[in-house]
């Protein structure tokens, strides 16, 4: 462990000047119990071991249609194009993501407070929670670019000052996720290992990292070691299914060259007991729409 400029103990040093071995996670994955919410004891045990949980049919067909209409409304609203919360594809210029999406959509705001979603986040994190980050991802057909292997927590720890991996993401599919249209790949169990990265965080890194992450990614050696030890699984599922995944699980996605878009709503819940402090490996903080610094409990 090292201390950083703000004396908060850094349990997960990263963005180092020289390569350093992966370290074992020192903290739980599941912080609550079966009595605290909808997940059963067996589901919690599996989530603790694998670091992710797939739930089919969380949203009904009608709900999926209503959120798809919401996404179409947002992408066709020209006034949003200049909003810094809208990220476009590097090559095609098409909308890739819209951050802080609950501010643009009352329906998505309500979804983040829905007991089927909020109840599970509280249960996994064992406390009240707040939204660290939200986005809708469009992954359009033919031109959707994927994301190289990474741990979200490595970025949220380095650049946002998230102390511990006590955060969980819920990705709700609004289109069918096939193996071939850029579906998310995860390494089961990789959340139990923290892979430090090499290389300092550049100023305003988020201006490029949200299109294509280059800093904070694991070495090919670390990815190879984890992949051989743990294997790779791909999240496939019908529209309306949800993937809950731990903040530190190693994941990535390929490009989407098929005609089938892969759109999802992405909600990141952080424990109110894990509120952001000063970044552990970056100068200056990222904007609130990427890393919310108001830890007021979500109700
Ligand atoms: O930097 C971030 O916060 C975002 N980047 C990636 C590649 N995944 C997590 C998160 O949305
Ligand atoms: Fe990610």
* φ/ψ of residue 76, rounded to 5: -95, 0
How much of the chain, in percent, has pLDDT values that exceed 70?
Answer: 98
Let me know if residue 100 belongs to a domain: yes
Residues lining ligand 2 (ion), CB within 5 A?
152
The answer to whether 272 and 132 are in contact (CB under 8 A) is: no
pLDDT tens-digit series, residues 219-261: 999 999 999 999 999 999 999 999 999 999 999 999 989 999 9
The secondary element (H helix, E strand) that includes residue 121 is helix 115-125
- Band of residue 87 on the pLDDT scale cut at 50, 70, 90: confident
Q: Report the distance separating Cα 201 and Cα 189, nearest Å.
A: 27
| Residue among 204, 208, 210 whose CB has most ligand 1 atoms within 8 A, to mutate | 210
Mean pLDDT of the chain: 93
Structurally, how many domains does the chain consist of? 1
pLDDT tens-digit series, residues 253-290: 999 899 999 999 999 999 999 999 999 999 999 999 99
**150 pLDDT more than 60:** yes
Contacts of 110 (CB under 8 A, 6+ apart): none
Let me know if residue 266 belongs to a domain: yes
Let me know if residue 5 belongs to a domain: no
CA distances from 199 to 13, 162, 217, 218 (A): 12, 19, 9, 11
Would you tell me the crossing angle of helices 115-125 and 106-113 to the nearest 10 degrees? 50
Residues enclosing ligand 1, CB less than 6 A? Answer: 133, 147, 150, 152, 155, 209-210, 213, 290
Domain span holding position 142: 23-274
How much of the chain, in percent, has pLDDT values that exceed 90?
Answer: 80
Number of the ligand 1 atom closest to the C-alpha atom of 160: 3
Number of the ligand 1 atom closest to the C-alpha atom of 155: 1
Let me know if residue 60 belongs to a domain: yes
Let me know if residue 284 belongs to a domain: no
- What's 240's domain CATH number? 2.60.120.620
**113 pLDDT more than 50:** yes
Tell me the pTM. 0.95
**213 pLDDT more than 90:** no
Question: Average pLDDT for residues 63-87, to the nearest whole number?
Answer: 91
Question: Average pLDDT for residues 75-86, to the nearest whole number?
Answer: 88
pLDDT at 50 (0 to 100): 98
Let me know if residue 84 belongs to a domain: yes
| Residue among 133, 185, 288 whose CB has most ligand 1 atoms within 8 A, to mutate | 133
HEC readout, 174-222: CCCECCCCCCEEECCCHHHEECCCECCCCCCCHHHHCCCCCCCCCCHHH
- CA–centroid distance, 135 to ligand 1, in Å, is 10
Q: Report the distance separating Cα 16 and Cα 19, nearest Å.
A: 7
**107 pLDDT more than 70:** yes
**130 pLDDT more than 80:** yes
pLDDT at 6 (0 to 100): 58
Let me know if residue 1 belongs to a domain: no
**80 pLDDT more than 80:** yes
Rg value, the chain, Cα: 18
| Residue among 201, 209, 214, 268 whose CB has most ligand 1 atoms within 8 A, to mutate | 209
- CA–centroid distance, 211 to ligand 1, in Å, is 9
pLDDT at 212 (0 to 100): 84
- CA–centroid distance, 266 to ligand 2, in Å, is 10
- Band of residue 138 on the pLDDT scale cut at 50, 70, 90: confident
- Band of residue 4 on the pLDDT scale cut at 50, 70, 90: very low
Number of the ligand 1 atom closest to the C-alpha atom of 97: 11
Let me know if residue 209 belongs to a domain: yes
Grouping H, G, I as helix, E, B as strand and the rest as coil, residue 80 is helix
- CA–centroid distance, 72 to ligand 1, in Å, is 22
Closest ligand to the CA of 99: 1
Question: Average pLDDT for residues 92-108, to the nearest whole number?
Answer: 91
Number of the ligand 1 atom closest to the C-alpha atom of 147: 7
- Band of residue 5 on the pLDDT scale cut at 50, 70, 90: low
């Amino acid at each position: 462990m090292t201390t950083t400029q703000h004396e908060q103990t850094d349990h997960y040093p990263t963005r180092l000047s020289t390569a350093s071995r992966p370290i074992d996670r020192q903290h739980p994955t599941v912080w609550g119990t079966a009595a605290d919410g909808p997940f059963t004891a067996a589901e919690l045990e599996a989530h603790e071991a694998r670091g992710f949980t797939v739930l089919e049919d969380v949203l009904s067909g009608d709900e999926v249609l209503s959120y798809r209409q919401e996404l179409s409304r947002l992408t066709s609203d020209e006034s949003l194009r200049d909003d810094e919360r809208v990220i476009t594809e590097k090559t095609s210029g098409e909308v890739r993501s819209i951050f802080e999406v609950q501010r643009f959509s009352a329906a998505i705001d309500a979804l983040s407070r829905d007991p089927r979603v909020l109840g599970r986040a509280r249960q996994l994190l064992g406390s009240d929670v707040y939204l660290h980050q939200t986005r809708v991802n469009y992954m359009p057909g033919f031109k959707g670019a994927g994301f190289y292997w990474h741990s979200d927590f490595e970025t949220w720890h380095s650049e946002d000052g998230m102390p511990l991996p006590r955060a969980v993401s819920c990705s709700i599919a609004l289109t069918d996720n096939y193996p071939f249209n850029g579906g998310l790949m995860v390494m089961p169990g990789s959340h139990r290992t923290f892979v430090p990265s090499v290389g300092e965080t550049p100023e305003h890194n988020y201006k490029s990292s949200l299109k294509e992450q280059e800093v904070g990614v694991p070495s090919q050696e670390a990815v190879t070691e984890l992949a051989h030890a743990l294997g790779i699984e791909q999240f496939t599922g019908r529209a309306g299914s949800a993937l809950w995944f731990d903040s530190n699980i190693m994941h990535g996605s390929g490009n989407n060259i098929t005609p089938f878009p892969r759109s999802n709503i992405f909600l990141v819940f952080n424990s109110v007991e894990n509120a952001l402090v000063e970044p552990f490996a970056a100068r200056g903080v990222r904007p609130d729409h990427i890393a919310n610094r108001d830890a007021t409990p979500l109700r």
